Structure 1
Amino acid sequence: MLPPLSSMLSRLRLKQLRLLVALADHGSLLRAAEHVGLTQPGASKSLQEIESALGTELFLRTNRGLEPNDIGHCVIRYARLIETDLAHLREDMLGILQGHGGRLSVGVIMGAVPLLTEALSRLLEKRPALSVEIVEDTSGHLLTLLDEGRLDLAICRTSISQRPHLYDSIDIHDEQLAVVANVKHPLAGRKRIALPDLANFRWVVYSANMPMRLLLEREFHESGLRFPLYLLETTSAFTTLSLLQRNPSMVALLSVDVARFCTRFGMTTILPLQLQSRSEPYQLVSRSNSVLSPVAKLFVEEFRAAPDAR
Structure 2
Amino acid sequence: MTQEIPSLSSITSRLHLKQLRLLIALADHGSLLKAAEQVALTQPGASKALQEIETTLGAQLFVRTNRGLEATDLGHCVIRYARLIQTDLAHLREDMIGILQGHGGRLALGVIMGAVPLLTDALTRLLEKRPALSVEIVEDTSARLLRLLDQGRLDMAICRTSISQQPHLYDSIDIHNEKLAVVANIHHPLARRETLQLTDLADSRWVVYSANMPMRLLLEREFHEANLRFPLHLLETTSAFTTLSLLQRNPSFVALMSVDVAQFCTRFGMTTILPLPLHSRSEPYQLVTRHGGMRSSVAQLFIDEFTETPKEEA
What is the TM-score when the length of structure 1 is the normalising length?
0.98
Amino acid at match of 2:201: L
Amino acid at match of 1:136: E
Match of 2:198 among 195, 198, 217: 195
| Structure 1 stretches lacking a partner, 5+ long | none
What is the distance in 2 between the residues matched to 1:26 and 1:211? 46
What is the distance in 1 between the residues matched to 2:147 and 2:55? 30
Match of 1:265 among 253, 257, 268: 268
Superposed displacement of residue 309, structure 1: 6.9
What is the distance in 1 between the residues matched to 2:244 and 2:198? 21
Amino acid at match of 2:242: T
Matches within 5 A, 1:191-270: 191-270=194-273
Partner of 1:124: 127
What is the distance in 1 between the residues matched to 2:163 and 2:69? 42
Matches within 5 A, 1:42-121: 42-121=45-124
Partner of 2:178: 175
Percentage identity across paired residues of the two chains:
78
Amino acid at match of 1:190: R
What is the distance in 2 between the residues matched to 1:19 and 1:220? 57
Secondary structure of 1:303's match?
helix
Partner of 1:6: 9
**Do 1:303 and 1:309's aligned partners in 2 also have CA atoms closer than 8 Å?**
no
Superposed displacement of residue 3, structure 1: 1.6
What is the distance in 2 between the residues matched to 1:97 and 1:186? 59
What is the distance in 1 between the residues matched to 2:27 and 2:155? 29
1:283 matched to 2:286? The reply is yes
- Answer with 141-150 or 71-80: which moved more: 71-80
What is the distance in 2 between the residues matched to 1:191 and 1:306? 36
Superposed displacement of residue 304, structure 1: 0.5
Superposed displacement of residue 70, structure 1: 1.8
Match of 1:308 among 297, 307, 311: 311
The count of corresponding residues between Structure 1 and Structure 2 is: 310
What is the TM-score when the length of structure 2 is the normalising length?
0.97
1:201-258 deviation per Cα after TM superposition (whole angstroms, max 9, x unaligned): 1111111111111111111111111111111111000110011011100000000000
**Do 1:179 and 1:251's aligned partners in 2 also have CA atoms closer than 8 Å?**
yes
Amino acid at match of 1:268: T
Superposed displacement of residue 66, structure 1: 1.8
4+ residue runs of structure 1 moved beyond 3 angstroms? none
